[in-house]
């Protein structure tokens, strides 16, 4: 579990991920689960972390 400091509402999800320190907690070979808003595949690729985005499902 990771809990970051609070960020202002005008920041994008990608900026929050970058500035929160979350990426520093990931190791090569880790798997990150996210929804489709997170377009951080390039940041994770640099750290050799896999990204799994589940397809949208209607309930």
pLDDT tens profile 10-20:
888 788 888 88
In this structure, the number of other CB atoms found within 10 A of the CB of residue 32 comes to 19
pLDDT band at 39 (very low <50, low <70, confident <90, very high): confident
Range(s) of the domain holding residue 6: 1-59
Q: Which residue has the tokens 């996210």?
A: 34
- How many domains, the chain? 1
Question: What does the pLDDT read at residue 58?
Answer: 64
User: Who wins on pLDDT, 9 or 27?
Assistant: 27
This prediction's pTM: 0.70
d(CA 44, CA 8): 23
């Amino acid at each position: 579990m990771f809990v970051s400091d609070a960020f202002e509402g005008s920041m994008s999800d990608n900026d929050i991920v970058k500035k929160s320190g979350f990426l520093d907690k990931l190791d090569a070979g880790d798997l990150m689960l996210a929804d489709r808003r997170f377009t951080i595949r390039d940041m994770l690729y640099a750290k050799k972390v896999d990204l799994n985005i589940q397809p949208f499902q209607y309930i």
